A and B are shown apart, each in its own frame.
Chain A
C-alpha cells in the first residue's frame, strides 16, 4: 500500500490586503472587505479591522477564523488590563501583547498577518507590522496580505526616507498630511485591486487622531 499523506489542512486563506501609515499626529489603517476562498468570493462586505483600545486598531489578513479568534483573545486580555490598571492599553503595550499572543501559538500558529496602528504615548502615529508568529517591528508604514507585494514597493517609493549616507544630503521625507495619507492609501488599493484577484469590492479606512476615530469607505473594482 503506497504511503498516504494527510490531505486535510486546518488552515485556509481568505485573502485580502491591509495597509497602515503613521503620521505625525494621526494614523491611517485600511483594509479591503473582500473575503475569498480558493477562486471564489465568500462575501464582499467583511471587515478585517478591529479597534482593540482607544488608540490601537488592528487590521489582519489571512485565515479569518484565526483572525477572529485572535481578536477575541486580545479583546478579553484588554478588559483584564483595564480592570487591573484602571486605564486603556497604550498602542506600544498592545503591540507587545499581540506579539506574545502570536508566539504563544508558535507550534500551531494563528494564520493571521497583522498590522497594528494607533497613537503612541506622545500622541504620534505608530504602526507595528507582524509575521504569523509574532515577530514585530515599529515602522512608519506597512502592508500585509495578498496585495502587499504590489503595495509595499509603492509605499517605499513614496514614503521611505532617503539614506543619510547620500551626498548631497537629501531632506527627510516631508511630513504627510492626514488627507494626503488617506489619498495615498486609496491609490494603493485601487492599484492592487487591478492585479490582485483577492483584493477588491470595498475599501475600509480608519483614521485615528487626537479627536478620535473616523471611518471612511471607498468602492473598489468587484471583478
Chain B
C-alpha cells in the first residue's frame, strides 16, 4: 500500500489517518513471549512465559513488583518494560510520600498512558515497544489494565498479550464469567491453564513460567518455583479436567521432574529483541 512512504517517523500521518510507527510498535508487543492476567473480585494473577535464549543463559524478567498493591507483566521490548517499571515504582513511592496512601491503579495507568502518548507526538522519540498488563488492588477493588504503546489503555477481566496470546484469550473467553467469584487458587490454576494454551503442546513447567499474585491482605509477590510446580502437578495429573475441582489431591510422585529438553523448536515465535 502506501505504507512505506508514511512510516519513516512517528509524526507523519498516513492518508488513511494512521500512524504506522505506532502500529509497528504494537507489532513488537505481539512478537514478545506471552503474558497473561486475570482478575477476580479480590485477587489479580499475572503470569508469563519465560524462555531463555539458551540453556546457559538466565531467563528474562517479565513480571515486576511496582508496589505492595501493584505489579506488572510485560511483553515486547523488555528493556522498555524495565524502564517503565522503574517509572511506575517511582510514581508509587512519590504518591505514598505525598499522600501517605497507595496510588490507585487507575491513576497510575493514566500516567503511564500519557507518558506513552508523548512518544507518539515527538519527532525525536520513538514509541515504547512494550505492552504492559498492570494488575493491582485499591479502594475500589481489584483491577487489571492493559497499556499499549499507542498510549491507549483498557480495563479487563482477563487478557493476554504476546506471541500465541490468542490461544490464551480463547481459553479465557470461555471461562471469564467464573473469574469474578473465583477463589485465589482457582484463579491461579486458570492462569496456568491459559498460559499452557500459549505453549502449543510444549510441557508447562515452573522453569519456563513465572506467576505472581496480588490480593486483599496479600501484597504483590512472585510465587516461587516449588509452589508453581506443585500447582502444575495438581492439575496436570488430573488431566484435561476443568480446574474448578478444588478437592483434587496434591499428587507429587508422577510429574515432579521438569522437562527442560524441548525449548529449541518453540523459540521460533519469539523475536530476538524480546530476550
Contact = CB atoms under 8 A, between A and B. Distances in A.
A79 B90 CA distance: 9
| Interface SS of chain B | helix
A72 B100 CA distance: 9
B62 interface: no
A85 interface: no
A161 interface: no
A79 B97 CA distance: 11
B69 interface: no
A83 B89 contact: yes
A80 B96 contact: no
B225 to A, nearest CB: 16
Interface string B65-93: 10000000000000000000010011001
A76 B89 contact: no
A40 B46 CA distance: 54
Interface residues of A, number: 7
Interface in A64-83: 72-73, 75-76, 79-80, 83
Contact of A83 (B65, B94, B96, B97): B65
A76 B91 CA distance: 11
Nearest to A79: B93
Nearest to A69: B97
Contacts of A80: 89-90, 93
Contacts of A73: 97
Interface in B92-130: 93-94, 96-97
Contacts of B96: 76, 79
A213 B93 CA distance: 25
Nearest to A77: B93
A218 B76 CA distance: 57
A120 to B, nearest CB: 27
Nearest to B86: A83
Interface string A76-111: 100110010000000000000000000000000000
A83 B85 CA distance: 10
Contacts of B94: 76
B83 to A, nearest CB: 13
Contacts of B86: 83
B65 A72 contact: no
Contacts of B90: 80
Nearest to B90: A80
Contacts of A79: 89, 93, 96
B262 to A, nearest CB: 30
B97 A76 contact: yes
A72 B89 contact: no
16 contacts: A72-B97, A73-B97, A75-B97, A76-B93, A76-B94, A76-B96, A76-B97, A79-B89, A79-B93, A79-B96, A80-B89, A80-B90, A80-B93, A83-B65, A83-B86, A83-B89
Interface of B: 65, 86, 89-90, 93-94, 96-97
Given A76-B94, A80-B90, A83-B89, 6 more contacts: A72-B97, A76-B93, A76-B97, A79-B96, A80-B93, A83-B65
In the A-B complex, the 6 residue pairs with the smallest Cβ-Cβ separation, listed nearest first, are A76-B93, A76-B97, A83-B89, A79-B93, A72-B97, A80-B93
